[in-house]
């Protein structure tokens, strides 16, 4: 019987100034999924590894498989039988788009299983549906970069308008995930409903600078634009030692450092892998100095999105 | 004695979503200035045409000449004698960067008069000083595009960070200036000091889309991004018939229509001069229908900035 194994990448949403509109994918970590066509109709989750029993084994409730039903309906294959094994290879609640990686892996794998009837653009709504099940809202700022790879701008949600951006070749990312819990809901609830116009203007100036920097491959401009004057001053209070960690990253050569998604992971962008490694170590040390353990993930900005392993 | 005549273009600031951070130059209208080296030290304004007596003939108070003093000091030519004639060729208080065109014409002309010792980047602070005299604040969103040409992003004011953006070849602009008065001060004072976070997010999504559209030469994306959900809903109340004029522009094929600067001029962007002409006429008619006369200016987006006429 036909079988595929697919990988989908972790993602950094918000990217400093781009709250709710920007995200990018990284080469690692990411989730893997195996899907096998079987005779018996229906979707069965055979196994999930790496989730410590936290994810639902019910395929209608699992973020990796919920959109597979819609996919099968779309291509007229409702009676297909599929066995699924999900390998969670990244932390939950880390601000690295864990549910998006699973949902994109699922959508990408089932498309491959049926010889890719849908384009990535056509798959996006399916993947967003998986995100809706996981988060209660169909956000796209993790799902879209996980699916497309690279940097992605969600210009608008209504109607959905997703724009792929250029990624300079040497752009690398150092993410450190401190072992503390920040719920996405809390991170959203502490935000103010209104922002000073002057801060909003600074923020959209930086969004403009970041996108111009990416398109023009101007690393200095990217670095100058990685500032968040609206969300970070509030959300960083949920991450002990954030200021020290950010300072350590700057000393180690980071172009810009900010909260990944709703946290608690802290990402830095820089030029080249060597520097990324140094920055990640500096951030791990800074968290350690205040008694917080952390994981580091160092990689290039991922340009390809999900891929087939076999 | 050496003599130059220079032109500097009108500019559209804000550009829908880019309040206080975006501007572009147009081929017409614009101001012209003549400068002549004379034996007698000091700067003399010999004549100003087209201003109906509204501008100061005192060179230390006139926006076109005030920065010339600083320029001469910078290059060590304080004792030079210069005779100036300014030709105002665009309306005052129109939202088209009238004072910026004069101040840029002055700075550009005196630089040319001394064989261009300063680059455009080095001239910017001088030109901003002229804007400060005219407006009370050293804004850059008209001055920078008037000086550099094309689309310009003012990412930050402190420190000043001005980014030149790509301009798609066929991008044209139709501006209509209704004969009503809107003071820049009033236009600023009616704005709210705080904006809803959700609106700010939509706005920076559109800023991102507009800049990506310019860099990627994606006209559709530029058009979709030309939306202002923060400032236009308030400022448009100062422009009678704004909604009808905008609707007329859309019917005539505009990609996007918004207030130029702080108004009352209304600009539209589109692809090609023929369409720009049609859009301008539609807007003139729409203003006329409610009894307001207007001027139209149709041109390509200017890529060169100021130029020497002789």
Domain count, chain B: 2
Query: Both A192 and A84 in a single domain?
Result: no
Task: Name which of B22, B194, B209 is nearest A195 (Cβ-Cβ).
Answer: B194
Does some domain include residue A307? no
Cα gap A5→B284, rounded to integer Å: 62
Residue B218: which H helix or E strand, with range? none
Does some domain include residue B307? no
Distance between start and end Cα atoms, chain A: 14
One of B103, B131, B232, B257 is an active-site residue; which one?
B131
pLDDT at A137: 73
Does some domain include residue B306? no
Domain ranges, residue A90: 3-166
Cα gap A232→A199, rounded to integer Å: 12
Burial of B136 per CB tally in 10 Å (0-12, 13-18, 19+): exposed
pLDDT at A105: 97
Q: B139, B166, B193 — which closes off a domain? A: B166
Q: Are the C-beta atoms of residues B35 and B83 closer than 8 Å to each other?
A: yes
Active site residue B131: yes
Q: Are the C-beta atoms of residues A76 and A41 closer than 8 Å to each other?
A: no
Q: What percent of chain B has pLDDT over 70?
A: 99
pLDDT at A1: 66
Task: Name which of A156, A192, A215 is nearest B205 (Cβ-Cβ).
Answer: A156
Query: Both A157 and A214 in a single domain?
Result: no
User: Could you give the 3-state DSSP secondary structure of residue B193?
Assistant: coil
Does some domain include residue B308? no
Does some domain include residue A305? no
* CATH code, domain carrying A222: 3.30.70.890
Query: Both B65 and B185 in a single domain?
Result: no
All residues at 6 or more sequence positions from A83 whose CB lies less than 8 Å from its CB, including other chains: A35, A36, A38, A44, A46
Query: Both A151 and A176 in a single domain?
Result: no
Tell whether the model's pLDDT for residue A237 goes beyond 80: yes
Does some domain include residue B63? yes
3-state SS, one letter per residue, for chain A:
CCEEEEEEEEEEECCCCCCCCEEEEEEEEEEEEEEEEECCCEEEEEEEECCCCCCCCCCCCCCCCHHHHHHHHHCCCCCCEEEEEEECCCCCCCCCCHHHHHHHHHHHHHHHHCCCCCCHHHHHHHHHHHHHHHHCCCCCCCHHHHHHCCEEEEEEECCEEEEEECCCCCEEEEEEEECCCCCHHHHHHCCCCEEEHHHHHHHHHHHHHHHHHHHCCCHHHHHHHCCCCCCHHHHHHHCCCHHHHHHHHHHCCCCEEEECCCCCCEEEEEECHHHHHHHHHHHHHHHHHCCCCEEEEEEEECCCCCEECC
Query: Both B98 and B219 in a single domain?
Result: no
State the Cα angle at B217 between A14 and B273, rounded to 5°: 135
Shortest Cα–Cα distance, A82 to chain B (Å): 39
Shortest Cα–Cα distance, A32 to chain B (Å): 31
In the predicted model, what is the mean pLDDT of residues B2-10?
97
* pLDDT band at A164; cut points 50, 70, 90: very high
Contact A165 B212 (CB under 8 A): yes
A242 touches chain B (CB under 8 A): no
Query: Both B192 and B139 in a single domain?
Result: no
In the predicted model, what is the mean pLDDT of residues A69-76?
94
A205 touches chain B (CB under 8 A): yes
Tell whether the model's pLDDT for residue B1 goes beyond 70: no
Task: Name which of B156, B163, B208 is nearest A207 (Cβ-Cβ).
Answer: B208
The CA-based diameter of chain A, rounded to the nearest angstrom, is: 61
Query: Both B290 and B228 in a single domain?
Result: yes
Which is nearest to B20 in space by CA: B203, B197, B181, B199? B203
β-strand pairing of A160-165 with B3-13: unpaired
Cross-strand bridge partners of residue A258: A267
Query: Out of A89-93, A290-294, B209-213, B279-283, which region has the weakest mean confidence (pLDDT)?
Result: A89-93
Token pair of A266 as six digits: 């802290």
Q: A20, A161, A201: which to substitute to probe chain B, counting the most B Cβ within 10 Å?
A: A201
Contact B224 A194 (CB under 8 A): no
User: Tell me, what's the ipTM?
Assistant: 0.95
B99 touches chain A (CB under 8 A): no
Q: B133, B166, B199 — which closes off a domain? A: B166
A191 touches chain B (CB under 8 A): yes
Half-sphere exposure of A281 (CA within 13 A, CB side): 8
Task: Name which of B197, B202, B203 is nearest A194 (Cβ-Cβ).
Answer: B197
CA A234, chain centre distance (Å): 21
| Dihedral (Cα; A139, A140, A141, A147), 10-degree rounding | 140
Which is nearest to B207 in space by CA: A159, A205, A141, A218? A205
Query: Both B13 and B139 in a single domain?
Result: yes
* pLDDT band at A56; cut points 50, 70, 90: very high
Does some domain include residue A310? no
pLDDT in tens, B226-279: 999 999 999 999 999 999 999 999 999 999 999 999 999 999 999 999 999 999
* pLDDT band at B185; cut points 50, 70, 90: confident
Q: What residues in A contact B153, CB-CB < 8 Å?
A: 205, 208-209, 212
Query: Out of A175-189, B201-215, B226-240, which region has the weakest mean confidence (pLDDT)?
Result: A175-189
Where would I find the H helices in chain B? Answer: 66-74, 98-113, 120-135, 143-148, 184-189, 197-216, 219-225, 232-235, 242-251, 273-289
Query: Both B160 and B245 in a single domain?
Result: no
Q: Are the C-beta atoms of residues B85 and B14 closer than 8 Å to each other?
A: no
Q: A166, A197, A216 — which closes off a domain? A: A166
Tell whether the model's pLDDT for residue B47 goes beyond 90: yes
In the predicted model, what is the mean pLDDT of residues B177-203?
91
pLDDT in tens, B82-121: 999 999 999 888 999 999 999 999 999 999 999 999 999 9
CA distances from A156 to A104, A201, B76, B167, B276 (A): 20, 18, 53, 23, 27
Query: Both B196 and B292 in a single domain?
Result: yes
Shortest Cα–Cα distance, B117 to chain A (Å): 27
* CATH code, domain carrying B86: 3.30.230.10
Query: Both B155 and B67 in a single domain?
Result: yes
Query: Both A180 and A63 in a single domain?
Result: no
pLDDT at B137: 73
């Amino acid at each position: 019987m036909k079988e595929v194994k697919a990988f989908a990448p972790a993602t950094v949403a918000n990217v400093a100034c781009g709250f709710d509109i920007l995200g990018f994918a990284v080469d690692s970590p990411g989730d893997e999924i195996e899907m096998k066509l079987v005779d018996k109709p229906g979707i069965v989750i055979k196994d999930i590894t790496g989730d410590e029993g936290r994810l639902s084994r019910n395929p209608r409730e699992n973020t990796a498989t919920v959109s597979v039903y819609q996919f099968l309906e779309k291509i007229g294959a409702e009676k297909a039988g599929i066995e699924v094994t999900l390998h969670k290879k990244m932390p939950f609640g880390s601000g690295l788009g864990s549910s998006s990686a699973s949902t994109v892996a699922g959508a990408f794998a089932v498309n491959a299983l049926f010889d890719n009837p849908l384009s990535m653009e056509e798959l996006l709504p399916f993947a967003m549906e998986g995100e809706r099940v996981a988060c209660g809202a169909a956000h796209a700022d993790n799902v879209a970069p996980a699916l497309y790879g690279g940097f992605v701008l969600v210009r608008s949600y209504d109607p959905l308008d997703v724009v792929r951006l250029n990624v300079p070749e040497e752009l690398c990312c150092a993410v450190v995930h401190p072992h503390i819990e920040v719920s996405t809901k809390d991170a959203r609830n502490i935000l103010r409903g209104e922002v000073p116009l002057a801060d909003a203007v600074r923020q959209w100036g930086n969004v403009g600078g970041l996108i111009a920097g990416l398109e023009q491959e101007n690393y200095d401009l990217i670095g100058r634009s990685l500032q968040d004057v609206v969300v970070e001053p509030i959300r960083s209070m949920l991450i002990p030692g954030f200021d020290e960690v950010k300072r350590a990253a700057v000393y180690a050569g980071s172009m810009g450092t900010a909260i990944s998604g709703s946290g608690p992971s802290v990402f830095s962008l820089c030029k080249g892998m060597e520097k990324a490694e140094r920055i990640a170590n500096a951030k791990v040390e800074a968290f350690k100095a205040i008694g917080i353990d952390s994981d580091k993930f160092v990689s290039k900005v991922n340009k390809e999105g999900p891929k087939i392993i076999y």
